[in-house]
Amino acid sequence: MTTKSIGEPIKRVEDARLVTGKGRYSDDLMPGALEMAVLRSPLAHAKIISIDIDPVLDVPGVHAVYTYDDLEGPLAEPLPLLIPHPDLTHGRTQYALANGEVNYMGEAVAVVVADNRYIAEDAVNRIVVEYEALPVVVGVDGARKADNLVHEDVPGNVAARMEQGFGDVKKALKKAPNKLTLDLKIERSAASPMEGRGTVARWDQDLKRLSLWSSTQTSTGVRAAVASKLGLDLGQVDLITPDVGGGFGVKIMHPWPEELLVPLAAMNLGKPVKFTEDRREHFISSAHERGQEQHIEVGFDDEGRILGLDFQFWHDHGAYTPYGLIVPIITSTQFLGPYKLPAYHVVFESLYTNTVIVTPYRGAGRPQAVFAMERTMDAIAKHLGMDRAVVRQNNFIQPEEFPYAHGDLNFQDGRPLVYDSGNYPELMEKAKNLVGWGEYEAFRDEAKAEGRKVGIGIACYVEGTGVGPYEGGHVRIETNGKVKVATGLTSQGQGHETAFAQIVADELGAKFEDVEIVTGDTRRMPYSVGTFASRAAVMSGSAIALASRKAREKVLRLAADALEVSEDDLEINDSVVSVKGAPETKIELGTLAVLSNPLRYAFDEASKAATQFAVGDPTKPPIPDGEEPGLEGKDFYSPMRSTFASGIHAVIVETDPETAEISILKYAVVHDCGTLINPMIVEGQIHGGVAQGVGGALYERMEYDENGQLQNASFMDFLIPYVTEVPTKIDIDHQVTPSPLNPLGIKGAGEAGVIPTAAAFAAAIEDAEGITITSMPISPSELYDLRLRDSSAVDERTQA
Amino acid sequence: MKPAPFTYQRPSTLAQALTAYAAAPDAKVLAGGQSLIPLLSMRLASIEQLIDINGIDELSSITVDESGVRFGATVRHSELLSHPEVAKVQPLIPAALHHVAHPTIRNRGTTCGSIVHADASGEMPTVFALLDGVLTVQSTRGTRQLSTADLFIGALETSLEHDEIATEVFLPALPVNRGVAFDEIARRHGDYALVGVGAIVGIDDNNSITSVRAGYVSVSEVPAAIDLTEAFPGGVLSDEALAAAGELALTHLEPEADIHATIHYREQLVRVLTKRVVTAAYADAVARRKSSREESS
């Protein structure tokens, strides 16, 4: 009897390959290909007066130099605005190569293709560009002041202004017995995957076909963008996703300029061409996220129940808006978290600055939203002198209220914001137990007696996961018994080869070891959207389950015929179909695959058994009506709306009274992502997410100076936490409220770990210090300065 | 991130290296490469020639005797750190080396190279200054011995002539009745210190303080060693004296602000680390005196 595979912590099948250096990333492909290097703007805002490429033309080993003047047709147009929105009234995108103006330090101005990257970089250094510097806009402040404009034709630097809400907030605030105002700030950070961007292209002149490899989170997105910009039919372009060294959102944004110029060069030169981004380039030319300033006005009753809330925020969108308003829309809607607000109004402005573009990074606007809401909850608790957990509990949506609609708000997918399932009160009980909420007071008093400062913080989130529109699955059983499965979205290390195989094993009855998963290859599955928004398990997992069920139906039909029994009497275990209660009457999946495909020729032993002369009913056609040759199943999953995962993080920190260093004593996570396919993979996602959250809370920020120069464009100065900076142990507890929206009851788990982390740390540090924390991340130096300011404020109060 | 073109040679004797180096005015010496290679790759520096001294056997030895520790230009941080005699003769060396970056960097990086890189935010230049080390430099013209004062002449600047190669470092042994300690605070484990402090405390037979010297990392232009003895009147280790020592140190230092720390914060770390490290060095001195008495009795 086969044991159930879903729910088991099966070891990841991809790890043997990935941890022994056998992964194949884009830079490993096509050794000897020509390589591209990019000349990037050293200035944040400037007009380009002239570009002199003459000094490059005679450099030995240089094959091509392109500037904007070399681009033609669609390639000479601005890059696509991928997700238009009616409120994005002033959307702007960059050109593949700067067309007379640069708007951030790092914007691509010219490219060189050479024998290798060394020569290409030598050549890039010889290009002479004359710039006329323009005034630079940096930060939300600079953008709002609008003394200078990023784009001449965008007044006030405002790309978009969007307003949503429900209930009468003004009235609610007026009538509320208690009112508070908060001003908050979150700094810019970035996804910073271990592998940067990378593209390899090969043009086959005989077949008129472009093969393209990209380090991407969306195979179909890159393919469509390249085909459209280069004037190729979609069918002429194959996009194959190799192993990808992390994405975290930054690789959902396509096309990048290099991704269009590499295939252009490959087609022009008739030779394979490669671009591998280096780390400095990643900092100054890939996307960032997070930077927001926020203003909250909240009215609440004496039990801390919110009566009305007005949320205003300003979103630093960088120089262009290729990915539309997704990030601020998510902030504005996911702000509501697990709470039931009778009246809510949100308005945001997306602002242009002369900095790198802002597109989704793991969490995608939610860490900012959760920071804002959870700071509000803590402020309410402090104002009323109430337990912080109780204030939250008093505002929770109750289990019997699902599905729960937040007024008529629309989510990022344009659909109404309706939560499908959840149990937030139980989640809170689990969180309190896990972190030791009840025993904490005694612990703090004990520490205080020893001269130590400790603090506890708690933060709740709800995450809309598994957004549409769809994903597909294709399952093919081969004559050797192997089950080949394809889905179009891509893998960046999540463990899809394992988790999806577990689904196929259960749904089809195949041996787990016989299942082979391929992701992100348009030759195998040309219809797909991509890996983002914690959607892979929900979307492709569901599609693969449905495809497996279709394959199973055919297996049973064929087996019933072959074994001369009713389909209802059959079961499939370990890739063998047998009669229930008579296991000796059986047939293997591979044999059924042979039978499914009658042949004229015998190529090998397996096909010998399948020639039309050896098997089949002579009174029927070899392929019965309504059937197809082969043992396959294909299906798509397209949900009505997103499914909403939830969770609570709690952290206990200790701050050094002298050095203001912040250390983590305990980190606890309870979460609900519905059905767990592989608990070990889910926990791995949580570990990685928390590590990234620790980075966002205590370490990472993009340091732009007033000239728009990024001061810390290296891993020496952009502080991603090492393993020594993240908690050695993360306590995890699962809650399972399956989603009613998909066949397996799955909710997404990919981003959750990073979402409430900054909020939880802010609360814990505030608790330890007794100083209000309004801005994250926070460094020891900043905490020390807060202490100095606080003590001088206390001095002033005492003197007054 | 690829370096501009340069030629490369790997001489097998010091004499060959010195001749090659003298003949190439725009050359650099490659030992561990932990600072040079990133500078070249990011094209923050470019050179005509790279002279790799890793094939020169005579530069790879460590000699330890009662007078101190002597090591060649290609000796790795990790070799010194794991050498059993080094810790016995001069315990400040391993105490500081533990804070030098990460194991992979210590496996490649050389202590001599770190000293002549003369980065005041590196631990080993400060240790060299604090211990009054001696650096041997050689050229085809001859050999010179440089002390701290001779060697460090500015930020990332030494008195080595264009044809001179640093070949050997001598760090003297810890005298009797002395104790050492080293500590630093960095944003992340293994990062450059926001502030680092090493100290040597001397005591008499009554455990009274006779001398206090401290070296500072990341708060001065050139590696700094400061005599703090006057902050401990009567040889007593008190809270007041430790606080005074921190303030005294600050009068010799020039903390600067950067993206990781304000001046105020660095000053605070100087105070806190001076207190902690001097206290620990004093405790080390007392413990050493006790164990040496037990050994001799």
Do B184 and B209 lie in one domain? The reply is: yes
pLDDT number for residue B296: 77
Read off the pLDDT of each residue in A484-502 and give the average, rounded to a whole number: 96
Does one domain contain both A247 and A381?
no
B95 within some domain: yes
pLDDT in tens, B242-280: 999 999 999 999 999 999 999 999 999 999 999 999 999
- The predicted pLDDT at position A708 comes to 98
Closest Cβ–Cβ partner in A121, A780, A781 for B2: A121
Banded pLDDT at A414 (limits 50, 70, 90): confident
Give the domain-ending residue among A255, A270, A285: A285
Residues A580 and A691 in one domain: no
Whether residue B190 sits in one domain with residue B154? no
Examine the domain organization and report whether B126 and B146 are in the same domain: yes
Average pLDDT over residues A254-275: 97
Q: Residues A362-366: what's their mean pLDDT?
A: 96
Residues of chain A whose C-beta is under 8 A from some C-beta in B?
Answer: 117-118, 121-122, 125, 278-280, 658-661, 699, 703, 711-712, 716-717, 719, 721-722, 724-725, 779-781, 784-785, 788
Chain A interface disruption, residue of B35, B188, B197, B273, most A CBs within 10 A: B188
**Inter-chain CB proximity B190 and A724 less than 8 Å:** yes
Given B110, B142, B172, the domain boundary residue is B172
Checking if the pLDDT of A378 tops 60, the result is: yes
Taking the C-alpha atoms of residue A250 and residue A13, their distance in angstroms, rounded to an integer, is: 26
Within a domain: A682: yes
Q: Residue A800: is its pLDDT beyond 60?
A: no
Asked if residue A744 is part of any domain, the answer here is yes
* Count of the separate structural domains present in chain A: 3
- Nearest beta carbon to residue B260 from set A280, A725, A779: A779
Is B294 part of any domain?
no
The answer to whether the CB of A474 falls within 8 A of the CB of A634 is yes
Confirm whether B98 is domain-assigned.
Answer: yes
Residue A192 has pLDDT above 90, yes or no: yes
**pLDDT exceeds cutoff 80 at A685:** yes
Contacts of A703 in chain B (CB under 8 A): 259
**Which distant-in-sequence residues (6+ apart) come within 8 Å of A542 by Cβ?**
A471, A637, A639, A742, A743, A744, A746
Q: Residues A66, A90: one domain? A: yes
Residues A690 and A608 in one domain: no
**A721, B3: Cβ pair inside 8 Å?**
no
B11 located within any domain: yes
Q: Which domain holds residue A303?
A: 292-467+640-796
Same domain, A757 and A632: no
Q: Give whole-number Cα distances, A329 to A324, A415, A417, A492, A795, in Å.
A: 10, 12, 12, 25, 43
pLDDT value for A712: 96
Residue A599 belongs to some domain of the structure: yes
Cβ–Cβ gap A121/B43 under 8 Å:
yes
Confidence band for A1, pLDDT divided at 50, 70 and 90: very low
Which pLDDT tens digit goes with each residue over A505-522? 999 999 999 999 999 999
Q: Which residues of B touch A717 (CB under 8 A)?
A: 259-260
Closest CA to A502 of A68, A7, A54: A7
Contacts of A788 in chain B (CB under 8 A): 264
* Residue B296 included in any domain: no
Residues B15-31 pLDDT 10s: 999 999 999 989 999 99
Q: Is there a single domain that holds both residue B185 and residue B102?
A: no
Total domains, chain B: 3
Q: Listing from the earlier edge strand, what are the strands of the sheet with B209-217? A: B178-186, B193-203, B209-217, B224-227
Two structure tokens written together for A290: 């997070």
Report how far residue B78's alpha carbon sits from residue B73's, in angstroms, rounded to the nearest whole number.
Answer: 13
Q: What is the pLDDT of residues B81-133, one digit of tens each?
A: 999 999 999 999 999 999 999 999 999 999 999 999 999 999 999 999 999 99
Distance in angstroms between the alpha carbons of the first and the last residue of chain B? 62
Q: Is residue A21 part of a domain?
A: no
Same domain, B240 and B206: yes
From the CA of A778, how many Å to the nearest CA of chain B? 11
Residue B277 CB contacts under 8 Å (≥ 6 apart), including other chains:
B181, B182, B183, B197, B198, B199, B214
Q: Are A364 and A323 in contact (CB under 8 A)?
A: no
Same domain, B223 and B270: yes
| CATH number for position A77 | 3.90.1170.50
Same domain, A746 and A710: yes
3-state secondary structure A527-567: CCCCCCCCCHHHHHHHHHHHHHHHHHHHHHHHHHHHHCCCH
CA distance B190 to B5: 32
A280 with A359, same domain: the answer is no
What is the CATH number for B272?
3.30.390.50
Q: Which residues in chain A have Cβ-Cβ distances shorter than 8 Å to B193? A: none
Please tell me whether residues A482 and A604 are part of one structural domain. yes
Q: How many CB pairs under 8 A join A and B?
A: 66
Best interface-test mutation with B: which of A119, A285, A659 has the largest number of B CBs within 10 A? A659
- Domain span holding position B168: 58-172
Interface test with A, best of B268, B276, B277, B279 (most A CBs within 10 A): B268
Assess whether B168 and B63 both reside in one domain.
yes
CA nearest A659 in B: which residue?
B269
CATH of the domain at A788: 3.30.365.10
Nearest residue to A672 (alpha-carbon basis) of A644, A651, A692: A644
A716 chain-B contacts, CB cut-off 8 A: 191-192
Answer whether residue A463 is part of any domain. yes
Residue B295 covered by a domain: no
Instruction: State the alpha helices, DSSP H only, in chain B.
Output: 14-23, 36-41, 77-82, 84-89, 92-97, 103-108, 111-117, 123-130, 148-151, 239-252, 263-296
CB A634 within 8 A of CB A473: yes
pLDDT digits (tens, 9 = 90+) for A429-445: 999 999 999 999 999 99
Band (pLDDT 50/70/90 cuts) for residue A633 is very high
Tell me the pLDDT tens digit for each residue of B225-243.
999 999 999 999 999 999 9
- Length of chain A, please? 800
**Longest CA pairwise span in chain B (Å):** 65
Regarding whether A334 and A270 lie in a shared domain, the answer is no
Chain A residue at shortest CA distance from B194? A781
State the pLDDT at residue A798: 64
Q: Which CATH number do you get for residue B166?
A: 3.30.465.10
Residues A297 and A231 in one domain: no
Q: Is residue A520 in a domain? A: yes
**Whether residue B196 sits in one domain with residue B264:** yes
Percent of chain B predicted with pLDDT > 90? 97
Q: Within its chain, how far is the Cα of B23 from the centroid?
A: 30
Q: Which of B42, B194, B259 to mutate to test the interface with A (most CBs of A within 10 A)?
A: B259
C-alpha distances in Å from residue A36, one per residue of A203, A254, A637, A750: 16, 18, 39, 33
Within a domain: B2: no
CATH number at residue B25: 3.30.43.10
Q: What are the pLDDT digits (tens) for A194-247?
A: 999 999 999 999 999 999 999 999 999 999 999 999 999 999 999 999 999 999
**Does B200 lie in the same domain as B168?**
no
Question: B128-158 pLDDT, tens per residue?
Answer: 999 999 999 999 999 999 999 999 999 999 9
The answer to whether residue A150 is domain-embedded is: no
Among B172, B192, B226, give the residue marking a domain's end.
B172
* Nearest C-alpha neighbor of A655 from the set A787, A763, A768: A768
Does one domain contain both B168 and B62?
Answer: yes
Domain identity same for B66 and B40: no
Of the three residues A612, A637, A662, the one that is the final residue of a domain is A637
Q: Is residue B1 part of a domain?
A: no
Residue recorded with tokens 């941080």? B77
Considering the domain architecture, whether residues B207 and B147 belong to the same structural domain is answered as no
Distance from the B42 Cα atom to the nearest Cα atom in chain A, whole angstroms? 9
pLDDT of residue A615: 58
Average pLDDT over residues A56-73: 96
User: Is residue A333 domain-shared with residue A477, that is, in the same domain?
Assistant: no
Q: How far apart are CA A693 and CA A702, in angstroms?
A: 15
For residues A307 and A376, the answer to whether their CB atoms sit within 8 Å is: no
Interface contact flag, A781 B194, Cβ < 8 Å: yes
Q: For the ranges A175-184, A495-504, A587-596, A765-774, which has the lowest average pLDDT?
A: A587-596
Verify that A513 and A441 share a domain, yes or no: no
> Where does a domain end: A637, A670, A705?
A637
Among B120, B151, B172, give the residue marking a domain's end: B172
